[in-house]
Structure 1
Amino acid sequence: MRRYGFALLLLVLLLLSSPCFAHFQLIIPSKVFVEGSPEKVEFFMPFTHPMEGGPIMDVDKPVEFGFFFGGERKILNDAVNVIELGAFPSWHPEHAKHKDKKARAYKAQVLVDKPGDYIFYVIPQPYFEAEEGRFIWQMAKVVVNAFGAEEGWDSPVGLEAEIIPLVKPYALWVGNEFKGKVMIGGKPASGVCVEVEYYNEDGKVKGLPSDAFITQVVKTDENGVFSYVIPWAGWWGFSAIGEGGEREHQGKKYPVELDAVIWVKAFPLPEGVKR
């Protein structure tokens, strides 16, 4: 009996010490800049572990999708369409084992036809994470610039959880510092963790020294401000972890993790420039 109890304790300790990787609501546009003439921009919106490449979680249609432009918030729920994806991309080592497993993600197309900064956002359904005994509710956004008019990128959309960029979020070089201010419930969120992950879309980033490098973590200061120096080119997600009360699931109440997410793209240095 004592041996069984020790084995059970060891199993619990192993489970508690195993890495818990970050969930991210993606909102990735087909382009960051619209130039020349009006264009339709497509948005890819899965809920997944971006650095690892999966799994993609099966989720219901978002509560709300839209953009903030010129001081007004426009809801475009009818533009959202469901897409069916494999749980893991073809390059992932788990793909063959789970090739028949499917998950719902979402996409949308929006015509961008006026000069200025469009802040696109998505509010998904709260996701119940059974293994962690909580709901995860992320409100994600991304900024698209149109026709060179750089106005509005730092405007608050008015989401319950939101990261306000303090650095222009669509013209970042590799090595630039990204800074943002976390607002939860309309107030600056001090001392909260901000998880940072790279969107490893094609699986080319591998060979990390440790699993600890999958999710980087920084904390906000007393004003809710954080910063992070972007190490290489591509899409980077920042998720500020907040609290959103409780929600019921199957007759039991669980805590709600209310997260503010923003996606930014870092560009490689131009030809002829050395770091």
Structure 2
Amino acid sequence: MRPLAPSFAALACLALFSAPALAHFQEVIPSADVLPEGGEVNIDMVFTHPFEGGPVMEMKKPVKMGVFKAGTTTDLLPRIKQSEIDGKTTWSLETELVEPGASIFYVEPQPYWEPAEGKYIIHYAKVVVDNYASGEGWDELVGLPVEIQPLTRPTGLWAGNVFSGVVLKEGNPVPFAEIEVEFINDASITAPNDAFITQVIKADANGTFTYAMPRAGWWGFAALVEGDEPMSSPEGKDVPVELGALMWVKTTDMSGK
């Protein structure tokens, strides 16, 4: 007897479950990671899929946006400006850095409902800008609910350098935390297959991880931790919350590109 052909519904389900999940990254990208002579810096905040260049997702006005420097936090939320990419809301900031030292810009977005995964996503993202190339203050903690504490200075890095950090939740290391890593692709790289789009590593028993960045550009490290309390979905059901401790690091090619 000839075997029955799979139904259209079965094929659709197979396609659905075999399709790779796209990694979400909250970008908070400055115009430079080091300001050798001080001055202005622009910060762009986009919620997207970096390696694939999109799609861009709607980003409501952040809950918090600020800068941490030398133990002091400054609220920058009133100064951010709304913009748009591909019809989706994004945000930006222009500011001037005067004093030498590391300025740690951070953003806490509103929870993002992801129906495909049945959960809310909150990525606490940060990036370091070193004013006057001081090399100071880069390892200070903002005090976010989940946060990466860098063990490698995240500025002035060559392509091929490694980046190490510790995943923290409420100030405590998270053993064996999973970290997703993506590169902001300018369309110059074609992945051989989907496995190359999002790199995945795990922290050790002390919450420490290391990754070698093979190309010049911006790299995002998203340590994913499950939230302690569920949230209510648009349908009114209790659903999990994915907390992301996200840090951005830039590398530069030794040719100067």
Number of equivalent positions: 252
Q: 1-side partners of 2:154 and 2:111: how far apart? A: 26
- Matching residue of 1:91: none
- AA aligned opposite 2:150: P
2:253 to 268, 272, 275: 268
- Matching residue of 2:36: 35
- Matching residue of 1:96: none
- AA aligned opposite 1:80: I
2:221 to 214, 222, 238: 238
2:200 to 217, 227, 231: 217
- Matching residue of 1:93: none
Instruction: For residue 258 of structure 1, report the CA deviation from its aligned partner.
Output: 0.4
| Maintained 8 Å contact 2:165/2:210 | yes
CA 1:248/1:5 → structure 2, altered by over 3 Å: closer, same or farther? farther
- Matching residue of 2:13: 12
- Matching residue of 2:55: 55
Cα deviation 1:53-77 (Å, max 9, x = unaligned): 0000012100111111011111111
- Matching residue of 1:142: 127
1:152 to 137, 146, 149: 137
RMSD over aligned Cα, in angstroms? 1.7
Identity %: 44
Q: 1-side partners of 2:5 and 2:72: how far apart? A: 62
Cα deviation 1:20-74 (Å, max 9, x = unaligned): 12100001101112233x4221101000000000000012100111111011111
- Matching residue of 1:118: 103
Q: Does residue 229 of structure 1 match 2:212?
A: yes
- Matching residue of 1:77: 77
- AA aligned opposite 1:266: T
Instruction: For residue 17 of structure 1, report the CA deviation from its aligned partner.
Output: 2.2
1:162 to 142, 147, 151: 147
Instruction: For residue 169 of structure 1, report the CA deviation from its aligned partner.
Output: 0.3
Cα deviation 1:153-197 (Å, max 9, x = unaligned): 011110011111100001111111110111122211111210000
- Matching residue of 1:90: none
- AA aligned opposite 1:14: A
Could you list the runs of 4 or more consecutive aligned residues of structure 1 that deviate by over 3 angstroms after TM superposition?
2-11
- Matching residue of 2:113: 128
Instruction: For residue 4 of structure 1, report the CA deviation from its aligned partner.
Output: 9.2
1:249 to 223, 233, 246: 233
Instruction: For residue 7 of structure 1, report the CA deviation from its aligned partner.
Output: 5.2
Q: 2-side partners of 1:4 and 1:187: how far apart? A: 54
- AA aligned opposite 1:45: M
- AA aligned opposite 2:46: P
Instruction: For residue 18 of structure 1, report the CA deviation from its aligned partner.
Output: 1.5
- Matching residue of 1:92: none
Residues 83-94 of structure 1 aligned to structure 2 (within 5 Å): 83-86=83-86
Deviates more, 1:7-16 or 1:190-199: 7-16
Cα deviation 1:194-252 (Å, max 9, x = unaligned): 0000001x31122x211110000100001111110001100000001111131112322
Q: In structure 2, the residue corresponding to 1:26 is in which secondary structure?
A: strand
Residues 174-193 of structure 1 aligned to structure 2 (within 5 Å): 174-193=159-178
Q: 1-side partners of 2:99 and 2:19: how far apart? A: 49
- AA aligned opposite 1:32: D
Unmatched 5+ stretches in structure 1: 87-101
Q: In structure 1, the residue corresponding to 2:13 is in which secondary structure?
A: helix
| Maintained 8 Å contact 2:33/2:156 | no
Provide the TM-score with structure 1 as the length reference: 0.87
- AA aligned opposite 1:50: P
Q: In structure 1, the residue corresponding to 2:78 is in which secondary structure?
A: helix
Q: In structure 1, the residue corresponding to 2:230 is in which secondary structure?
A: strand
